[in-house]
A and B are shown apart, each in its own frame.
Chain A
Amino acid sequence: MMKAPASRECLISWALLAPAIIFYGLFVLLPIAQSAAYSLFDWSGVGAEKMFISLENYAWLCRDPVFWRALRNNFLLVLLSLVIQLPAAMGLAVLLSYLRRTRSLFRTILFAPMMLPAVAVGLLWSFIYLPGDGLLDRFLALFSNHVAFGWLGRSDMVLPAVIAAICWRHTGFHMVLFIAGIESIPEELYEAARLDGASEWQVFRRITLPMLLPVTRVSAVLSIVGSLKYFDLIWVMTRGGPAHASELVATYVYKTGIEAQEFGRGSALAVALLAIVFTATLVTHALLRAWARLTAEGKA
């Protein structure tokens, strides 16, 4: 352990922390606190008057059907992202682990969608989903009598359609995490298992999967947090429409705050979202830790 005098130690610590605290406090914490303060007021933004109404905005929020619709959409996004992206990412990572020289190249290519700005991805997928003229409809028309379909225009199809685009974009990110995890598994374990005559599937189930648990945990948490906060692609592709069919809490925050200029309500929505994300993160952490302990005990 360190032997320097404690007070000197403290000074260094604070000196090193100071810039972080300044930037973070000024540009992040302060605005959040102000936003939380706004949420207690009735403030339409155009006028300068704010009326203190304490928790009334939160009461409104609980009654508002659009908020619940948005939250439901968010949970759908969380669920589908976890169920689609993580297994696909893991699968791709395992596939790539069989390659030697080309692994790096393919890894790069599959990660590329993550590098594009949301505007670009949104525009690209809007072309794909264009009714009749878009890539998807034209592709389907090659095999059938299909003419045109309103992928982004129909309330029932719009959310799955955008989720598909989101999965396309983000799967590569999780794949990279899993590849890193796989690469850190000692080669000897695999060799031993294969010598013992284990099938590929058994190798995966008994060695790879358990050893990827820490990475899975990180991936899951990042995915859940990201899905709950998600804004970019939905906004560019559908703006949360039509008629709130693809509304997410984050887009609703934007519409309420900036478009309808109801800053008090918008802030309340944001604080509610923060609380939800925080709770979800804690719950996820706890659940995964418990599961890790269970499987570890099961083995021993």
Chain B
Amino acid sequence: MRQSSLAATMVALAAFLFTAGCEKKPSGAAGTPRKTATTKSAGQTVRLTFWHIMDYEGPREVLATAVQRFEQAHPGVVVEVVPIKNDLFKQKLATEIASGSPPDVFHTWGGGLLAAYARAGRVLDLSAALEQDNWRESFHRAALNFCTAEGKVWAVPLDISIVPVWYNREIFRAQELDPPRHETDLKALCIKLRAAGITPFALGNKEQWPGCFYLIYFATRRGGMRTLEAAAARRPGASFSHEAFVWAGRQIQELVALRAFPEGFNGLTDDQARRLFFTGRAAMYVMGNWLVARCRTEAPAFLERLDCFTFPAASEGAGDAGAVVGGTNAAFAVSSSCKHPEVAVALLRELTSARVAKEWVAIGRLPAIGTEVTEQALPQPARRALELLRAAPAIQLYYDQYLSPALALAHKETTQALFAGIMTPEAAAERMEQVARENR
């Protein structure tokens, strides 16, 4: 009878719901056999959740093996590793922190957002832990600075990344071009490339952050790092309407007018821009040195054509001609709601150990851990980036990480508006200043 089969279905459903409701045991890093508690207190397993953004081949495996080693060295501890794509990660983390259930250990870029977490008491102060065994000394000073707020350290960096201008050697050779020294040379270069039917820069500005590199560089070259620092700290007399920012906006709009960027760039994703670059249809690409790691897996044949130079200086202005834009693209913090802080900190030690640093180098990235990086271990283009890093007097942290969340958003939006040509440089600078004033 139909009714009894319906009833049977309902019972089955209920049973299924019940079993489905039971928590699926999370597996540790890929393929780890379950560790049963041995020496831990009262036979309880310690569970940690670890979220990071390295969800692609290369870095993902490095972190996974590091976690595996940690679990083997600490029986009774199970770490659930969750790699999440970049922008999804930001959104998920924001929701979790707002609803009071953040992961135990998570990725951070340092800067203003980390400082906001610190001020709200959401992350653990690691300063004391750093004093033990000279752990602090193993880190690159600038990278650690990015993780510092109000004199205390809230995260530890694994990675240090810089943003040079990558270029296609073959194209430059064919067009008989040299790396530009000043922005005037750069513009001439763009005109020449366009005339030859090549897109000068690969740019996919849909997510707004790739275009920001240009603004930051121009502003830093013209006004120096202190201009931004003063404006962000709201020092008397300092403002986001400073001439350096306006000039930077103007340079961007001039480049757009010269068609330095691909058609429809404001709607292209960074992936699509990278594709243009790797297939030889764009000559240059302003991007972080993680590009080398991507090149290794996505287009290994392109590695030999890849090289980089530092962003051109401003022909006039009292800025920092040698500074590079960069940051730490893998730093880890511990949530203050973590139930086992000592274990979490131990995990951090493993994640920033010399062993992991070596593996990080092997995939083409630069470690923030100061052990001697053997140049031979790096793929050639990355060695060049390392040279630039060593030669740079200072590193300017990406604005969208440096500034507070509200200002960071305004920065991304005004910059995209500049690229779209719907805002004048003066208006964009003024808007930044206005947001800064509203959100002291």
Contacts and interface: CB of A to CB of B under 8 A. Distances in A.
Nearest to B408: A260
Given A47-B119, A262-B406, A153 B91 contact: no
Interface stretch (B200-208, B321-329, B366-374): B200-208
A258 B94 contact: yes
Given A47-B119, A239-B207, A261 B267 contact: no
Interface string B200-223: 000001111000000000000000
B417 interface: yes
A47 to B, nearest CB: 4
A129 interface: yes
Given A241-B266, A258-B91, A45 B406 contact: no
Contacts of B86: none
Interface in B355-407: 405-406
Ranked 10 nearest A-B pairs via Cβ: A150-B264, A152-B267, A153-B264, A153-B267, A242-B266, A131-B264, A47-B120, A148-B263, A45-B98, A153-B266
A44 B405 CA distance: 10
27 contacts: A44-B405, A46-B97, A46-B405, A47-B120, A48-B120, A126-B269, A132-B263, A147-B263, A148-B264, A150-B267, A154-B267, A155-B266, A155-B422, A158-B267, A238-B206, A238-B267, A239-B206, A241-B267, A242-B206, A242-B419, A243-B417, A245-B420, A258-B94, A258-B95, A259-B94, A261-B94, A261-B405
Interface of B: 90-91, 94-95, 97-98, 113, 116-117, 119-120, 122, 205-208, 262-269, 272, 405-406, 409, 413, 416-417, 419-420, 422-423
Given A150-B266, A153-B265, A154-B267, A241 B405 contact: no
Interface residues of A, number: 34
A152 B268 CA distance: 8
A130 interface: yes
Interface in A100-135: 126, 129-132
A151 B94 contact: no
B266 A154 contact: yes
A149 interface: yes
Contacts of B420: 155, 242-243, 245
A132 B265 CA distance: 12
Contact of B416 (A149, A158, A242): A242
Contacts, number: 99
Contacts of B269: 126
* Contact residues of B: prevailing secondary structure: helix
Contacts of B117: 46
Nearest to A262: B406
A131 B207 contact: no
* Contact residues of A: prevailing secondary structure: loop
B421 to A, nearest CB: 8
Interface string A216-246: 0000000000000000000000110111110
B96 to A, nearest CB: 10
A263 interface: yes
A241 B97 CA distance: 27
B264 A149 contact: yes
A149 B262 CA distance: 10
Contacts of A48: 120
B395 to A, nearest CB: 25
Contacts of A258: 91, 94-95
Contacts of B422: 155, 243
Contacts of B262: 131-132, 148
B91 A241 contact: no
Given A47-B120, A238-B206, 12 more contacts: A131-B264, A132-B263, A152-B264, A153-B263, A153-B268, A242-B420, A245-B420, A258-B91, A260-B405, A260-B406, A262-B406, A263-B98
Q: Could you say which of A147, A150, A244 has the most chain B C-beta atoms within 10 Å of its C-beta?
A: A150
Interface in A226-283: 238-239, 241-245, 255, 258-263
Nearest to B268: A153
Contacts of A245: 420
A46 B206 contact: no
Contacts of B413: 243-244
Contacts of B423: 243
B351 to A, nearest CB: 24
B410 to A, nearest CB: 9
B203 to A, nearest CB: 10
B202 to A, nearest CB: 12
A150 B263 contact: yes
Contacts of A132: 262-263
Contacts of B91: 258-259
A259 B405 CA distance: 8
A150 B208 CA distance: 16
A130 B94 CA distance: 31
A44 to B, nearest CB: 8
